[in-house]
Structure 1
Amino acid sequence: MDALSRLQAACARAKGILRMVRPKYDVFLNCRGVDSHTCFPDFLYKSLSAAGLQVFRDDAAFSVGNQQIGPEVLHAIRTSRIVIPIISERSVHSKRCLRELTEIMDCRRKHGKSVFPIFYKVNVADLGRQCGNLPDFEEALCEHEMQGRREEVQEWVEALCSLTRIRGWMSQAIANGHEGKLVKMVVAKVLSELEMSWVERSSMFIDSVSHYLSEKRRSQSKCQVFLSLRGADTRYNLAAFLYTSLVAEGIQVFNDDDPSLIGKDCVHEIRNAIDHCKISIPILSSNYASSQWCLEDLAQMVECKRTKGQTILPIFYKVKTSHVRDLSHLFVKHMLRHKEMVDESTYERWERAVAEVGSSRGWVSENIANGHEAVLVKEVVEEVSRLLNNPQTHDPPSPSTEY
């Protein structure tokens, strides 16, 4: 074992000891993420965990059958230092989430619990004025009332009303709905809010040493995966979540936002990353071809596949076409805008790249669990891990993920 490995092992042991004396959970996450097929709750959960925080998420809240909350969940709510309820359009359909929310607001009223709400694609002003009587909310609450005690439903309404009076985040108001930026803001706020004892400061110091060692090791090895982060319609949601998930699995992914790239030629660094990676993941959305940078990246991926045998795992993100092989037809209106701006050989190179990748097997986001992005991300991470662990296999994604 070399010196770096010994120091990393010592840091891991020290973190284990320090964790024993700190509160069990820093954050309790109350959410119902499956209702809108969004990856946002999973993205936030992994980002908070990646920041070194102990996060409790009640996974049973996603099941339809179990609507009661047990002692473990109640204990987690009461002992977590910060609670983050995520209110979406269909949160009110879950009795379990409403019961958790009632307990959360009770803890805030009685014990001053810190509550940071996120109103996910919900107009908090309307919610506050109507106090739960928005059409979708009213229908769900009436249904609950017919099934159970009127008093309990009234408690849920009061909890919702109280929550609207707390300053939080409105997802659509943050960077035009870019969820990656919202996640960064939430994580930064949580980290700044938590009061750090000497034990926690020591833990953060150890984390910083571990991070330095990890970065040093990463800098000594080549990038394993190039993930296309270009494109405003994917960079701050699916791409950001996929990046976090890949890194959480210990996979080395190129990040064009890495502070170490400041002062360097970004184009050169991206080209170098594509050239040296083992797997490239382009995320082809309807606006992908509007960017010359994206088209050039795609062309280089295809060239590396031909010359070096690298693997391309495309994701066709909300592409409105009956057949993915017709992707070039979808892109044609964007492609034509570039035709007068680049030489003929470059344009033809881009066309060939689009046609080849469009004919490749990959994931069509809308076909994965009816568009549930968290399931899509999980499948992509599993496939990347499989290919990296079995470099001799070059099978395409499993049939369940084909178009």
Structure 2
Amino acid sequence: MQKEKRKQSKDEENDSSLRKRRKADLSKPVSFVSTAMTEPESSRSRPEGTYDVFLSFRGEDTRHTFTDHLYTALIQAGIHTFRDDDELPRGEEISDHLIRAIQESKISIVVFSKGYASSRWCLNELVEILKCKRKKTGQIVLPIFYDIDPSDVRKQNGSFAEAFVKHEERFEEKLVKEWRKALEEAGNLSGWNLNDMANGHEAKFIQGIIKNVLNR
């Protein structure tokens, strides 16, 4: 019995030490080193159990800029993060391994950018993410509005309106309505707007996101 108590106490000390080290790392400048140099190829893009964070983003807009910087900062903070590095060929459906990664994540961070709504893939990801949010386990969904106003997401204005003109020509009304509903719901969630926070400084903006995720 005493051995079990000593083991439990040691585990708690280790967990506390890990949390302190994670938070201490935030006092250091974020180094935006290419993730390809810091992480083995086999560890990226493959679900390997439960993730802390799933990143949903429009690759053409932010893959090699903001999302890469955010992903690197999450990994450096010890946050187990899934980022899909492969663009789906046109017409293909969201893959089973991607759906599984969403379902196995505690938090989904959705990076809304000007081209997000033009991607059928991104919209289907968002629908799946919000399904997980509504389940009893209640996945946390945190939107980031990157160079776009939250009202454009909520009401499908601006570039989102342009995207839906094309969607309505190509896809069934039921599917388009599902996408619109998902955007309206996500646009109403509390999140981060780059233009309103950290005076638009991306590095400070990202550090604020990391602190928030660590406190969840």
Q: Structure 2-normalised TM-score?
A: 0.72
Equivalence map 1:35-50=2 (5 Å)? 45-47=31-33
Matched, 1:284 2:108: no
Give the superposed CA RMSD.
3.0
**Percentage identity across aligned positions?**
35
What is the Cα deviation at residue 345 of structure 1?
1.8
Distance 1:317 1:352 in 2: 20
Q: Match for residue 142 of structure 2?
A: 313
Q: Match for residue 366 of structure 1?
A: 195
One-letter amino acid matched to 1:237: T
Which of these residues, 249, 257, 267, is aligned with residue 95 of structure 2?
A: 267
Which of these residues, 115, 127, 131, is aligned with residue 303 of structure 1?
A: 131
Equivalence map 1:205-354=2 (5 Å)? 221-257=49-85, 267-307=95-135, 308-320=137-149, 323=151, 326-330=154-158, 331-354=160-183
What is the Cα deviation at residue 287 of structure 1?
1.5
What is the Cα deviation at residue 329 of structure 1?
2.3
Q: Match for residue 89 of structure 2?
A: none
Q: Flag the 1:257–1:320 CA change in 2: closer, same or farther, 3 A.
A: closer
What is the Cα deviation at residue 257 of structure 1?
2.7
Distance 1:256 1:220 in 2: 13
Q: Match for residue 215 of structure 2?
A: 386
Please identify the structure whose Cα radius of gyration is greater.
1
SS at match of 1:228: strand
Q: Flag the 1:294–1:267 CA change in 2: closer, same or farther, 3 A.
A: same
Distance 1:298 1:219 in 2: 18
Confirm or deny: 8 A CA contact 1:226 1:273 kept in the other structure: yes
What is the Cα deviation at residue 363 of structure 1?
0.5
Confirm or deny: 8 A CA contact 2:143 2:190 kept in the other structure: yes
Distance 2:140 2:187 in 1: 14
What is the Cα deviation at residue 315 of structure 1?
0.3
Equivalence map 1:112-151=2 (5 Å)? none
Distance 1:283 1:222 in 2: 21
Confirm or deny: 8 A CA contact 2:133 2:140 kept in the other structure: yes
Confirm or deny: 8 A CA contact 2:55 2:108 kept in the other structure: yes
Distance 2:157 2:166 in 1: 14
Distance 2:162 2:171 in 1: 16
Q: Match for residue 59 of structure 1?
A: none
What is the Cα deviation at residue 219 of structure 1?
6.4
One-letter amino acid matched to 1:316: F
Confirm or deny: 8 A CA contact 2:142 2:190 kept in the other structure: yes
Distance 2:157 2:85 in 1: 32
Which of these residues, 185, 201, 204, is aligned with residue 375 of structure 1?
A: 204
- Deviation per CA, 1:296-324: give whole Å up to 9, x if none: 11111111111241111000011157x46
Q: Structure 1-normalised TM-score?
A: 0.40
Confirm or deny: 8 A CA contact 1:227 1:281 kept in the other structure: yes
Higher helix proportion, which one?
A: 1
Confirm or deny: 8 A CA contact 2:54 2:101 kept in the other structure: yes
One-letter amino acid matched to 1:362: G
Question: Alignment length, in residue pairs?
Answer: 178
